[in-house]
Amino acid sequence: MAVDEAKLEQFMGQVVSDWAATAGSALAFIGDRLGLYRALAHIQPATPAELAGETGTSERYVREWLLCQAAGGYVTYADGRFGMTEEQAAALADPDSPVSMLGGFQITNAVFADLGHVLERFRSGDGMGWGEHHHDLFEGTERLFAPGYRRDLVPSWLPALDGVVRKLEAGARVADVGSGHGISTLVMAEAYPASSFVGYDAHDGSVRTARARAEAAGIGNAAFETAGATEYDGGEFDLVCFFDALHDMGDPAAAVRHARGALAPGGTIMAVEPFAGDRPEDNFNPVGRLFYAASTMVCVPNSLAAEGVALGAQAGTERTRQVFEEAGCASFRRAAETPFNLVFEARG
């Protein structure tokens, strides 16, 4: 079969673009780690020498870094000086911005650090638990997800659940299962001081970090404990949450079944999952590609480490519904969504 030269040229262009983006991700990680983006947004427009002087770095390295950033559209360039638009700065220079993307580059660094380990898992079929990954995965995940949780959790997601906000305002008990560094738990705890919150995670290092985060923020109505998704025993909860964690678990149905058993009468289960369509081809887009990559490198290995079903990050609504039905939930619905998240509500 003859090669279509135009199609080949187009595809090769796509590959080169991917190479450039991959290499550029490494440089974005450097820019974040060294504070180059933050400094440039502050002193712009700046020459390489001025930015190097501001950050205590080498002018020659900074010059090449800036040229790569300008080529990729991450910074602006004019008359030998570099700067950032408001939009670029919001995504790259402000870690507290609701659209900060910095954590993604840190996750990418962890993915490449773990590449050899996952390569061996492809051959053996073994899993790789969350705690076995490079430490940048833990902090990067917190940093990437935090802006969305701060932006959407209290204003949008919780109000989409039937009667939950009223309980939280009056004083409810909440479990956050797979809480990681605790950002989701702390966002809720700060918003609803009359309620009490417990974050559970199987990774002890993440639990220690979450406790430190709570102490530093002065949030006293949130506690964190080391426990798996089918191991915690905290009494009856009015709300049990899974934030971007259910699909990672060895047995998601068992995790939901355990949550059902931990609910108070009339309690609610909330699961936030990555946005996905029900058919594979529904996810053949940049977001789906990103989530499938994360699923290959992190989510599926974590589930397989627990000899699990490896649900994957792109399960979609109907496959997730099957998990909740298998767990015996009386009701299940898609309550809210964003371009990156699906929010599900279930009752026992």
Annotate 135-195 with DSSP letters as a single string.
HHHHHHHHHHHHHHIIIIIIIIIGGGSTTHHHHHHH--EEEEET-TTSHHHHHHHHH-TTS
pLDDT of residue 348: 81
Q: Given 3-state DSSP classes, what are the helix, strand and coil percentages for the chain, each rounded to the nearest 5?
A: 55, 15, 30
Q: How many Å separate Cα 324 from the centre of its chain? A: 22
Whole-model pTM over 0.85: yes
Between strands 76-78 and 81-83, the pairing is: antiparallel
Residue 150: HSE in the Cβ half-sphere, 13 Å Cα cutoff = 14
With contact defined as beta carbons under 8 Å apart, do 145 and 183 qualify?
Answer: yes
pLDDT of residue 235: 85
In the chain, the largest separation of any two C-alpha atoms, in whole Å, equals: 70
With contact defined as beta carbons under 8 Å apart, do 301 and 309 qualify?
Answer: no
**CA geometry: angle at 317 spanning 313 and 319, to 5°?**
70
Q: How far apart (Å, rounded) are the C-alpha atoms in residues 335 and 89? A: 32
Identify which of 181, 191, 189 has the alpha carbon closest to the alpha carbon of residue 144: 181
Between strands 196-201 and 237-243, the pairing is: unpaired
Q: Which phi and psi (to 5°) does residue 315 adopt?
A: -70, -40
CB atoms within 10 A of CB 33: 13
Q: Please give the domain boundaries of the chain with CATH numbers for all domains.
A: 5-94 (1.10.10.10), 107-347 (3.40.50.150)
Q: Which phi and psi (to 5°) does residue 47 adopt?
A: -85, 165
Mean pLDDT of the chain, nearest integer: 97
Residues of the chain with pLDDT under 70: none
Identify which of 210, 216, 146 has the alpha carbon closest to the alpha carbon of residue 178: 210
With contact defined as beta carbons under 8 Å apart, do 252 and 222 qualify?
Answer: no
Q: How far apart (Å, rounded) are the C-alpha atoms in residues 29 and 227? A: 32
Amino acid sitting at position 51: L
Q: Which residue has the tokens 């369509």?
A: 277
pLDDT of residue 272: 98
With contact defined as beta carbons under 8 Å apart, do 270 and 341 qualify?
Answer: no
Give me 39's structure tokens.
């400094």
pLDDT of residue 234: 82
Tell whether the torsion through CA atoms of 137, 295, 312 and 127 is positive or negative: negative
Between strands 331-337 and 341-347, the pairing is: antiparallel
Q: Is 70 left (phi over 0), alpha (psi -120 to 50) or beta?
A: alpha
With contact defined as beta carbons under 8 Å apart, do 255 and 202 qualify?
Answer: no
* Cβ-Cβ contacts under 8 Å for 348 (sequence gap 6 or more): 260, 263, 267, 269, 328, 329, 330
Between strands 196-201 and 81-83, the pairing is: unpaired
